[in-house]
A = this chain, B = another copy of it.
Amino acid sequence: MRALDNTDLQILANLFRDARLSNKDLAREVGLAPSSCLERVKRLQNDGVIQGCSLKLNMNALGAHIQAMIAVRLSNHNRETFESFMQAVQPAPEVLSLYHLGGDNDLLIHVAVVDTQHLRDFVFNTITCRNEVSHVETALVYDYRQSDTMPKFVLNSSQAV
């Protein structure tokens, strides 16, 4: 993979702010011709720097009035146990995202549910029913905010132009 130069970082920062920016507008923002800009965006996608693009939705409008974070500890920490748990839980329609952590809790599962009864059913039917689960704690999510600016770090030599 090629190192990212400053123009690449500008492209990424702009798309991070608004991924539906047209190529023409993006090119103007970063001071490139549209064709050159398009070429770079494609390269960033091919190189796997850009991994995809997802919609931020208003969960309440979809009928999910409660969001919760479910912390899970497993009884066994080998790879197979993890993978089987994640593969069973991730496809559930309530699951928004899933973190595998190194800490007291092995996993954090961010879910959206209709109401408290739905939350309880989800925890029983999808989480605690699994025999690899040793401990579960559920907390309401009052607020969830995603950064609208791309993480930016001091460049090291391998990234610099």
Contact = CB atoms under 8 A, between A and B. Distances in A.
Interface in A59-106: 59, 61-64, 69, 86, 90-91, 93-105
A61 to B, nearest CB: 4
A147 B91 CA distance: 7
A153 B114 contact: yes
A160 to B, nearest CB: 10
Contact of A53 (B1, B19, B69, B114): B19
A159 interface: yes
A98 B142 CA distance: 11
B19 A48 contact: no
Contacts of A50: 55-58
Name the residue in A18, A55, A98 with the highest tally of chain B Cβ atoms < 10 Å from its Cβ. Answer: A55
Interface string A127-161: 00000000001111111111111111111100100
A4 interface: yes
A37 interface: no
A93 B149 contact: yes
Contact of A19 (B19, B103, B146): B19
Contacts of A105: 139
Nearest 5 CB-CB pairs, A to B? A103-B139, A100-B143, A102-B140, A49-B61, A51-B56
Given A47-B61, A49-B58, 4 more contacts: A18-B52, A63-B153, A63-B155, A100-B143
